Amino acid sequence: MNTPSHPPEYYMRIALDLARRSSALPYPNPWVGCVIVREGRIVGKGFHRGAGTNHAEVEALIDAGPKARGAALYVTLEPCCHFGRTPPCTDTILKAGVREVYYAMKDPNPRVAGKGAQILRRHGLKVHSDYCVHEAAALNEMYIKFQTTGLPFVTAKVAASLDGKIATRTGQSKWITDEESRRRARQLRAEHQAVLVGINTVLSDDPHLGPRDSSSAEPWRIILDSHLRIPLNSQVVKSGKCIVACTSRASAAKKARLESAGVRVMTFKGSQVPLRPLLKRLAEREIISIMVEGGGEVLGSFFDQKLVDRVCWFVSPVVLGSTKARVAVAGDGAARLERAFWLQETAIEKVGNSWLIQARPSKPAGRLFLPNTRL
């Protein structure tokens, strides 16, 4: 008989730790970890490394081998039951002879969403859910947003003075924050598949927007450039992973030159690039996490349209002053306080000589799958 020596939460937290081990972003797939427990002992461990690779359950079952028969499986997300890049995990679990399954949270993917648990129960397995569910949801907040809204998870990143400025009245911006803060900002960037800026940022700073070391994956650089003013010799164009969003009024010849240089050009009707349709098209390309880094008008538009899911705001101990200095967030803004972009779950930490404030909107755009009772 398979009798665990610890409560389910104990094994689930081990699975959650495993889920975080992947050195690469698994997107568009979720972070998942799994352990196999037999007679109170962990006999198999696994985690998902990315799309097209074995799922965590398969890795753990391979690790357990014949010891998986009659054992209990603990996994941070409901086992999948459909063919994608890999076969259904439910089939593998049934073939391995597992008798009991514990999972942290229901998979928000409509192709699963409870169906995986139903299949396992139908074949006589004992299935339990909602263990460490909030930790599991926090781990996969980007995946949840993508699956429940069809849009990428958007982080707004700002590095500003104490009075909310990102450059002096003459346009000088390097550097408002110190090296330690900039290093932390690059770490945050590495958590996302893409970085988005406006064309003015490219023209004024010619940023690289990539990692400083080879251990991090190259992000997509997404540039909002309605009229295709982007220089062909800019660093983002030369990066090899650049998407430029423009309008139908942009030069067809310039578009052709950019495409010849390897740039993906997305064209939209109207005088400005519409943000929500852009995010929808990026999600269709399986880009599910984006860090928006400016400038002020771009960030303001994202806040105005309630498209921000997380804020990472570096505050430097300097006052720039002047009404002509560039502000961190522009846009239309709120006419009344009740319509402002209120934040919650605020965390503040000291980074170098700056403070990093992280927070989330009071009304999140994604719907979390957080059942109140165990199934």
Does domain 8-139 fall under CATH 3.40.140.10? My reply is yes
Sorting pLDDT into bands at 50, 70 and 90, what band is 83? low
Catalytic residue numbers, as ranges: 57
Q: Is the pLDDT of residue 1 over 70?
A: no
Distances (CA, A) of 242 to 56, 111, 205, 276: 32, 31, 16, 19
Domain positions in the chain: 8-139, 146-361
Task: Please state, in angstroms and rounded to a whole number, the distance separating the CA atoms of residues 171 and 234.
Answer: 19
Q: Is the pLDDT of residue 335 over 70?
A: yes
Q: Is the pLDDT of residue 372 over 50?
A: no
Q: Is the pLDDT of residue 57 over 50?
A: yes
Average pLDDT over residues 44-63: 90
| Least confident piece of the model among 21-25, 46-50, 87-91, 306-310 | 21-25
- The confidence score (pLDDT) of residue 325 equals 86
102 vs 113: which has the higher pLDDT: 102
Q: Is the pLDDT of residue 54 over 80?
A: yes
Looking at residue 97, the DSSP 8-state letter turns out to be T
Please, are residues 84 and 54 in contact by the beta-carbon 8 Å criterion?
no
Token digits for 259?
Answer: 């495409």
- The confidence score (pLDDT) of residue 110 equals 81
Average pLDDT over residues 329-347: 89
Q: Is the pLDDT of residue 374 over 50?
A: no
The DSSP-derived string for 215-272 is TSPPPEEEEE-TT----TTSHHHHTS-EEEEEETTS-HHHHHHHHHTT-EEEEESSSS
What is the residue type of 195?
V
The DSSP-derived string for 267-327 is EESSSS--HHHHHHHHHHTT--EEEEEE-HHHHHHHHHTT--SEEEEEEES-----TTSEE
Please, are residues 163 and 196 in contact by the beta-carbon 8 Å criterion?
no
Q: Which of 249, 226, 248, 225 is nearest to 237 (CA)?
A: 225
Task: Please state, in angstroms and rounded to a whole number, the distance separating the CA atoms of residues 111 and 130.
Answer: 19
The structure's pTM equals 0.88
Over residues 161-214, the pLDDT tens digits come to 999 999 889 988 888 899 999 999 999 999 999 999 999 999 988 999 988 766
Average pLDDT over residues 140-163: 94
| Least confident piece of the model among 159-173, 285-299, 313-327, 356-370 | 356-370
- The confidence score (pLDDT) of residue 2 equals 55
Task: Please state, in angstroms and rounded to a whole number, the distance separating the CA atoms of residues 129 and 339.
Answer: 38
Percent of the chain with pLDDT over 70: 94
Region of residue 297 (phi > 0: left; psi between -120 and 50: alpha; otherwise: beta): alpha
| Beta partners for residue 127, in sequence order | 101
Q: Which of 47, 51, 55 is nearest to 15 (CA)?
A: 47
Q: Which of 181, 242, 232, 180 is nearest to 210 (CA)?
A: 242
Residues of the chain by 3-state class (helix, strand, coil), percent to 5:
30, 25, 45
- The confidence score (pLDDT) of residue 375 equals 35
Task: Please state, in angstroms and rounded to a whole number, the distance separating the CA atoms of residues 356 and 333.
Answer: 23
Q: At what angle do helices 89-96 and 56-64 cross, to 10 degrees?
A: 20
Q: Is the pLDDT of residue 315 over 90?
A: yes
**For residue 310, with 0-12 CB atoms within 10 Å meaning exposed, 13-18 middle and 19 or more buried, which class applies?**
buried
Identify the three-state secondary structure at position 169.
Answer: coil
Q: Is the pLDDT of residue 373 over 90?
A: no
Q: What stretch of H or E contains 66?
A: none
Q: Is the pLDDT of residue 345 over 90?
A: no
Token digits for 336?
Answer: 């009344």
Sorting pLDDT into bands at 50, 70 and 90, what band is 292? very high
- The confidence score (pLDDT) of residue 338 equals 86
Q: Which of 150, 139, 81 is nearest to 105 (CA)?
A: 139
Q: Which CATH architecture has domain 146-361?
A: 3-Layer(aba) Sandwich (3.40)
152 vs 83: which has the higher pLDDT: 152
Arithmetic mean of pLDDT over the chain: 90
- The confidence score (pLDDT) of residue 50 equals 80
- The confidence score (pLDDT) of residue 364 equals 67
